[in-house]
Chains A and B, each alone.
Chain A
Amino acid sequence: DAGITQSPRHKVTETGTPVTLRCHQTENHRYMYWYRQDPGHGLRLIHYSYGVKDTDKGEVSDGYSVSRSKTEDFLLTLESATSSQTSVYFCAISESSDEQFFGPGTRLTVL
């Protein structure tokens, strides 16, 4: 299995609070991605990174920001969480366009 961990694995928070999710890889892959998974929508790309300090927006980036200061870490921040951001969040990594490897996911509930 690709070495990808996500933390925390579960989080419950209140509307309006900031939340940061962490993705850590041990594979030294160039690309890292954050997705959210919601019933009936599959996985939708939030943000991705193509190198340290190089990031770009995905399909559903509003309300989210990311940072990548080291190859191995990719952080997703919800500046002010809303109930619509209740979801399961997946991190993925890849070295090329050939295949992405996924982490175990973080289940976030915003009350």
Chain B
Amino acid sequence: AQSVTQLGSHVSVSEGALVLLRCNYSSSVPPYLFWYVQYPNQGLQLLLKYTSAATLVKGINGFEAEFKKSETSFHLTKPSAHMRDAAEYFCAVSDPHGNKLVFGAGTILRVKS
């Protein structure tokens, strides 16, 4: 069975500061990993994905994530936060052969001016 743990249900940063959202996964097979973003009253939008190619993945809006097998982690980072980054972020894992996603509980990012 696969599972995802997102450390910190709420993260607050100042505008211009580093964003770090943590995700650890559990999977019995080499996983595919995803970060999605949800703005208020909207659906989920894919930020980036890891599908066994490069371990450092770049996504939209300046976000990136690094797959670390030894740490079973896939943390999301952005060097400089913008007010528009305020949203809820979800990490998800899938079995490459299973076509199903398992989501973490989500992290709400607040950006202070």
B32: which of A31, A58, A98 is its contact (CB, 8 Å)?
A98
A44 to B4, CA, bound (A): 12
Query: What residues of chain A lie closer than 8 Å to B9, measured between beta carbons?
Result: 40
Would B44 and A90 count as touching, CB distance under 8 A?
Answer: yes
- At the interface, yes or no: A96 with Cβ under 8 Å from chain B? yes
Residue of A nearest to B51 (CB): A98
Contact digits for B18-60, partner A, Cβ 8 Å, 1 yes 0 no: 0000000000000010101000011111100101000000000
Would A97 and B99 count as touching, CB distance under 8 A?
Answer: yes
Would A97 and B97 count as touching, CB distance under 8 A?
Answer: yes
Contact digits for A56-94, partner B, Cβ 8 Å, 1 yes 0 no: 001000000000000000000000000000000010101
Tally of A interface residues using CB under 8 Å: 24
Query: What residues of chain A lie closer than 8 Å to B44, measured between beta carbons?
Result: 43, 90, 92, 102
Would A98 and B95 count as touching, CB distance under 8 A?
Answer: no
Query: What residues of chain B lie closer than 8 Å to A110, measured between beta carbons?
Result: none
Would B49 and A41 count as touching, CB distance under 8 A?
Answer: no
- At the interface, yes or no: B100 with Cβ under 8 Å from chain A? yes
- At the interface, yes or no: B79 with Cβ under 8 Å from chain A? no
Would A99 and B46 count as touching, CB distance under 8 A?
Answer: yes
Would A102 and B96 count as touching, CB distance under 8 A?
Answer: no
Known: A42-B106, A43-B90. A99 touches B97 (CB 8 A): no
- At the interface, yes or no: A52 with Cβ under 8 Å from chain B? no
B residues with a Cβ closer than 8 A to A are 4, 6, 9, 32, 34, 36, 41-46, 49, 51, 90, 94-106
Given contacts A42-B4, A42-B105, A44-B103, 7 further A-B contacts (CB under 8 A): A31-B99, A42-B103, A42-B104, A43-B44, A43-B101, A58-B100, A104-B42
